[in-house]
Amino acid sequence: MHYAVTDSQLSLEFDNGEPPRAAEREAKPRAKPKAATKPIPAAPMSVPDMAALVAAHSDYRVLRRLQPVHHFARVAQGPVTRVVVLDTETTGLNHATDKIIELALLRVDVDTATGLPVGEVSVYDGLEDPGRPVSAEIQAITGISTDMVKGKHLDEALIATLLSNVDLVIAHNAAFDRPFCEARLPVFAQLAWGCSFADIDWKAEGQGSAKLESLALNKGWFYDAHRAEVDCHALLAVLAEPLPQSGQTGLAKIMAASQSPSFRLQATNAPFDAKDLLKARAYRWNAEQRVWHTRLVDEAQLNAELTWLKSAVYANSPARVQVEKLDAQVNYSSRVGTLGMSQL
């Protein structure tokens, strides 16, 4: 099948009725593309500015390396309490057989009214040869090798000078550090001691852990742990801050605790069936004396605990339990406090 196409169907219309001349049909030259504009580089941000930018985001936290403070510019409003913050590194856990390989002290005055440190911080950090090789395990924990301590001795005269007129020694685990210090330097037995681990109810202050590294992390700090002087600076920094719930500084809490006796209570002759109750209540088992015991920070806690023992453990039957009264002079030492018996 064929279709006929007329001329009119093939005609093309032009503005002037005529087809364009050849010159007009030549393509007009295209405009050269504009050169791409180079982006202007942003001004480099400083590390503190970058940290501040990240910290402002709700999905991120910024940790800063803890910077030791050697001078607190604030001025005391009244009397001060002279405090030594102390830490040790040792060859092991037994003060009777193991030895100190590093001892660090920070001496600082604390405004008694505010619990804030003031003025200069005096520092001592010394290594000591324990007379035997430092084990691989201890070297891995502390970074202290046998070669580092070889021939080294603590400066007893300088330590004695730093300890003169000191009102309170604070360690984060005083029950560990105090026996080691007293075994090496008897002057420590003459001083009052406090414990930042035990004298503050960290759980009540909203802290998930009482470990020093965890407490520092909650403040936004990190540090190289397990060297004595660095640990002391970290502890002082943590204790100089207001606690989340009470608003008091950690230093104020420990100084107040040192002014009142604490107590060690033994559940003497407790029935065997009560062991799970006692364990759940944070009593500890003394295998040598074969007795469950616990520590109580004040007389109010002691009285409440005696009431609980009478009803929950001894089923209201007559019983006598041993109570050991501890003041800051013997607290956390291996020495015995004032012993007594309480009738339930």
Residues 150-168: tens digit of each pLDDT: 999 999 999 999 999 999 9
The answer on pLDDT for 257 being more than 80 is yes
The residue to which tokens 């616990």 are assigned: 294
Provide the phi-psi class of 315: left if phi over 0, else alpha when psi is between -120 and 50, else beta: left
Q: What is the mean pLDDT of residues 237-264?
A: 96
Q: Which two tokens stand for residue 222?
A: 């990190």
* Domain covering 262-343 in this structure, CATH number: 3.30.70
Per-residue DSSP letters for 90-142? ESSS-TTT--EEEEEEEEEEEETTT--EEEEEEEEEEE---SSPPPHHHHHHH
What is the distance between the alpha carbons of residues 265 and 202, in angstroms, rounded to a whole number?
22
Q: Which two tokens stand for residue 121?
A: 């911080």
What is the pLDDT at residue 109? 98
Q: Which residue has the higher pLDDT, 307 or 42?
A: 307
Q: In the CATH hierarchy, which fold is given to the domain comprising 65-258? A: Nucleotidyltransferase; domain 5 (3.30.420)
Helix (H) or strand (E) holding 7: helix 7-10
Q: pTM of whole model > 0.85?
A: no
Q: Report which DSSP code applies to 41.
A: P
Per-residue DSSP letters for 313-330? ISTT---EEEEEEE-TTT
Q: Where are the domains of the chain?
A: 65-258, 262-343
Answer for the pair 70, 120: CB distance below 8 angstroms, yes or no.
yes
Q: Residue 120 forms beta bridges with which residues? A: 71
Q: What is the mean pLDDT of residues 310-324?
A: 96
